Structure 1
Amino acid sequence: MHSPPYNLTNNIFSSLFDEEQIPSSSIVVNDIVNVDNWESKQFNNNNTTTTTINPSPVCIERYDYYESTEKWLLGVFALPFILCGLLANGMSILIFSNRHMRKQSVNWYLLVLGTSDFVILLGAFSVLTLPRLSEILVWWTGTAISYYVTPVFYALMTMAQTISVWMTVAMSLHRFIGVCFPYQSGRVLTARNVKGIIGGVILTAVLFNIFRFFEVTFEVCWMEPIGVELPVLRMTALRQNELYRKLFYEWAYTLIMFVVPFTVLIAVNSMVIGAIHKSRKIHAKLNVREGNGARKQELAKEISTSIMLVAIVIAFLLCNTLAFAVNLLEKLDFQGLLYIRLVPWSNWLVLCNASINICIYCIFSERYRALLFYYLRCFKRKGGGGDINNQNNIGFNGTSMSFL
């Protein structure tokens, strides 16, 4: 049995089963599929037979080791990114849930984005890194744990990915309205409407991916030549259904996770960048004049906030473009050596995207930095005292900070 080369955009399933290639879906999806495709081929090639061993039936399969580049990239090199990303997103969740940050509705998107990225990284460790690292360490218990939890984490990761993608889109649209239609934004971007959008994205993502829980199962088999029992990932009847695969993976997934969000993000943020350029010209004119201090400060905050959100989108597009390309290669049935080589790197880039937003927040958000340093000081003092809700403790007052 061989565990799949995952594609955080869909490649779990691509290597699991000996069937016509199944389209990709999410970071975890392709790994499951790839594992079973490979397993079935190896099972047939090695003339392995299923044997009944009393008192319970046990299948016998041949364990195949992970490809070297994939194993070291996702099993070792990705590990510090995942651990740092988990800490960074945990800190972002703490900071954006603080009452000072909750005053700005745009931070609600970032709170949900940090939570979804945390789930993606947690699932990536369990499904991608743990089995490869366990193979390197010859710790088969870790491999077994990974395969046991994969059916659940697979579904949770796909939900989190959908939420992450569309929360980025919603955040971009929010900023687009605020920058390009400032006079209408107060009426449109009310707290109630923003909560409705966020709730709608989460609910839609859950419903869109709910059947993922019923796509993967496992069977415990005796693995040769390593001489241990391990779970073997199997596709359920639902996942093998021709109509389901065609409608969901070939059409719905590609459109909802790639084509539509990429198109919207590029179009909307191009207009936001144009608006930022105009705002900079206005800001430059105000700098020449006297007596416009309040207006200049407000405009500077708006520009900084817009640039930060655009930077988040650019990072998202850069890190997910390769995953989009891998998805297209799969749709075109071009799954040769190039495809196999690109899958691990596309996974790694998705993991990077889920880990690096804290850097963008620290660069552009003074309030985020202030809260981050405050929490770090508290943790250094053994989880230390002090009320984070006390503005004097944090070291800023709410009116002098940027939106973020």
Structure 2
Amino acid sequence: MTAADPFDVPHDAPFGVHNLPYGVVTTAGDPRRRLGIRFGEHVLDAGAAAAATGAPVDLLALLAAPSLNPLLAAGRPAWSRVRAAVTAWLTEERYRAAVAPCLVPFADVVAHLPFDVADYTDFYASEHHASNVGRIFRPDSAALPPNWKHLPIGYHGRAGTVVVSGTDVVRPCGQRRDPGEQAPSYGPSVRLDIEAEVGFVVGSPSAQGDRVALADADDHVFGLCLLNDWSARDIQAWEYVPLGPMLGKSFATSVSAWVVPLDALGHARTSPPPRDPALLPYLDDSAARPSGLDLALEVGLNGHVVSRPPFATMYWTYAQMVAHLTVNGASLRAGDLLGSGTVSGPERDTRGALIELSWNGEEPLRLPDGTERSYLQDGDEVVISGSATGPNGSRIGLGEVRGLVRPSR
């Protein structure tokens, strides 16, 4: 094989055969939205490859869809069959001639939102982040609310404003009350922030009235993406008493264009931090297969790395999020998106939001180019990327989620 051979992907490439994340793409020559599977410097047209290799009719129907949702809803047995088939197409010599024309250079594709978002729930799973924010807003009280270590706190977000990486973010307007003021004012947010998160994509649905146990979470969670939950902190601070976030969060949530299946992350599984106090039985994962994940995130602002949040420090896992979300009988739907909440570690350079990095503006963040930021300015570009360890020293790339801030309208 030569260096130009699209099948010759290095073992340690972030999008090698151990990864195979799913997306939805178009090309200049073919505007039809179709499933793509990222492989090295190419994207496999999944439906075309299924047809070219004579895949069974049921798999062909799933892979020829214009969205990931039919595959999500098909369930874990179908996910495993598709992954095994795609792996064979890309590694076995007998498929090379049929599959080669289905590999499109990555530079030639336009990526779209990979799935239709059914519901969006954002959690608050990092103890470091929750403690930092508590100390900022409640300096004379306990950093964590009394329920925080008993249940994974979350809020119901707006599915209709989830956008794919690369979509510009318009600075939101709303009410805010400045410190020392008695009455609110209206205008563009002056404390626009980011939240570096991981999003978990639900596949198999559950029936309303049923509960999903911790041990069954992997039958419902298809994979993950990177997520930036853009936050207008001034709008949020005024509106979230007594209820939860609304306009301060609902204007935009960005996700990466590629969904990495859980099956690619077996070597990234790790035990979550110790829990104290003991958890109620439906959340107690002490004897369960670990559902913590050792993911390395990186936050870039205008081309400068400002933080490296470690996902392994997260207090609550995706399995606990699913168990808690459904314990009241709420149903899961294919395409549900569960945000982890901001990923933050114990050190300043591992914090995943500007409110922590600048300590709410008291300690502005100095960038390598000499500029300072407490919160985002118009024209700022944020890029969150990530990776995980794969088998035999390989690397699993999580892609990136990118967004450029535009002035309010």
Q: TM-score band (shorter)?
A: under 0.3
Query: Normalising by the residue count of structure 1, what TM-score does the alignment of the two structures yield?
Result: 0.23
Query: Normalising by the residue count of structure 2, what TM-score does the alignment of the two structures yield?
Result: 0.22
Name whichever structure is richer in helix by fraction.
1
Computing the radius of gyration from Cα coordinates, the structure with the larger value is 1
